[in-house]
Amino acid sequence: MKAARLKTAAIVGAAAMALGACGSSGTATNGGGSGGSGGAALTVAGVIAITGASDFEGQNQAGGILPAIYAINQAGGVLGHKLVYKGVDTRADPADALPAVQQMLATTHNLVMVAGPGSNSAPTIVPVLNAAKVPMTAVAGESAFDRTTDQYFWRLFPPDAANGVAMALWAKQKGYTRVAVVFGTDTGSQGDKPGVVAGLKALNIPVVSDINLTPDQPTYLSSVHRLMAAHPQVIMTESDAATAGTFFGELKQLGGLVPIIGTEATFTAPWITAVKGALGSSFQQAFTSLITAPSSKTAAVTAFEQAVTADKSQVPKPWQSYLNNPFSITYWDGMVAVALAMNAAHSTKPTVFNKYIPQVTNPGPGKVVVYTYAQGVKELKAGKQIQYYGASGLIDFNQYHNSFGNQEAVGSNGSSQPVKLGTVTAKQIEAVPVTGVQ
């Protein structure tokens, strides 16, 4: 009974504070954007799958957005307003997401930003939010958004295809010539698979075995056998954690383990825990993942880590897993950038501050580089132009409101701490001509 269309939004985050936001919304005069202090709380809505098959999306988001809100409030809030988070559950289902989002829009008056929407519901929800003039920091990989003209859409995340092409480039660099692709039939995995297949095709690397795994089966023995019969040198994969645990456990026990290259989505705590449990000591050696390149250890990274640690009681367990979670870091950066844009615009009104978002992130002549929210506010107050350099690294929105950087091949030491193995640059990725990718 996963992801049923019970049209509900679970309200997550700081409950009392969210209530406060609703309760006080009537008295707030948020129309023109106030610079005063002690204003009504501003709501950041997380439009994401909180329950159902893709509930990890909600956890990834909470791991980044809640610490960001915490840190911004610690630094005095935005123009005197505190931020509160309100979760809106899409259940990875557009039919659930639509009324949930509309209910949220109807009941949330001081809404300044949406974190999300995630992949599954983005095509339905992005137009609704754009029409409602709500800025969103989407983590939706659909290539449909590569050249979007929606003014309120912002994506600090590579499209799915970029990750797939990076995996293919990495395989090529490693000299692999026989690749097996093993993907779950769940939404996330199927969303990422075309990019991987197209990348391999573009680089002329043959796919010797193409296996789809129906999630939650008691056994995948025949698929394992089939995979082994094809003698791949490497497996490119993504599936939900439980399925991956069963499949790779059986693969190892039958003696067919070869190196594994996972998509970015595999570099999350549940997947790593499940597969590490199934592979035991072989895991570290076998597993590589291509992820958005973590930034060098700037002050932005330190600020993120400190905030996660300080806010650890609020984020879903285990809190340590978000320290290196690329999705969480993306949400953090999105939140900080939007908050700085409000400061730069002297307004909490989305129609006013929306266009300031690239102005506080993109590099430019004469800009002061800042790494934290507090630092940015200080420089803005001093009348400076700023460039927020995020925990995920350089943020540079193009004309389509997309910003993404290099991809990095990483291993895991067993926790979700990445161990750097190599880099695939954004330039390399863009040079690969892929077609037919969702």
Q: Which of residues 37-96 bind another protein (CB under 8 A)?
A: 50-53, 55, 58, 62, 87, 89, 91-96
Note whether 238 binds another protein by CB under 8 A: no
Among 76, 80, 123, 414, binds another protein (CB under 8 A): 123
Query: What minimum distance in Å lies between the beta carbon of 151 and another protein?
Result: 16
Q: For tokens 């089966």, what's the residue?
A: 217
C-beta closer to another protein: residue 316 or 418: 316
Q: Is 225 a residue that touches another protein (CB under 8 A)?
A: yes
Binding-site string for another protein from residue 402 to residue 431, where x marks contact by CB under 8 A and - marks none: ------------------------------
| The one segment of 115-123, 359-367, 380-388, 417-425 that binds another protein by CB under 8 A | 115-123
In angstroms, give the least distance from the CB of 161 to another protein.
12
Residues 341-380 touching another protein, rule: CB under 8 A, are none
Q: Which residue has the tokens 């102005």?
A: 359
Asked whether 250 and 228 are in contact (CB, 8 A), the reply is: no
Residue 46 Cβ vs another protein, minimum distance, rounded to whole Å: 9
Beta partners for residue 420, in sequence order: 410
Q: How far is the CB of 183 from another protein (least distance, A)?
A: 10
Shortest distance (Å) from residue 246 CB to another protein: 5
- Which one of 83, 196, 211, 286 is in contact with another protein (CB under 8 A)? 211
Of residues 24, 177, 212, 425, which one binds another protein by CB under 8 A?
Answer: 212
Pattern 133-172, another protein, x by CB under 8 A: ---------xxx----------------------------
- Contact between 18 and another protein by CB under 8 A: the answer reads yes
Which segments within 256-406 are labelled E, that is strand? 260-262, 287-292, 368-370, 386-388
> Which residues does 124 contact at the CB level (< 8 Å), separation at least 6?
94, 97, 98
SS3 7: coil
Q: How far is the CB of 369 from another protein (least distance, A)?
A: 35
Question: From residue 281 to residue 320, what is the string marking binding to another protein with x (rule CB under 8 A)?
Answer: -----------------------------------x----
Our finding on whether 278 is near another protein (CB under 8 A) is yes
* Closer to another protein by Cβ: residue 196 or 409: 196
Site string for another protein, 180-199 (x = CB under 8 A): -----xxx--xx--------
Residue 326 is a binding residue for another protein (CB under 8 A): no
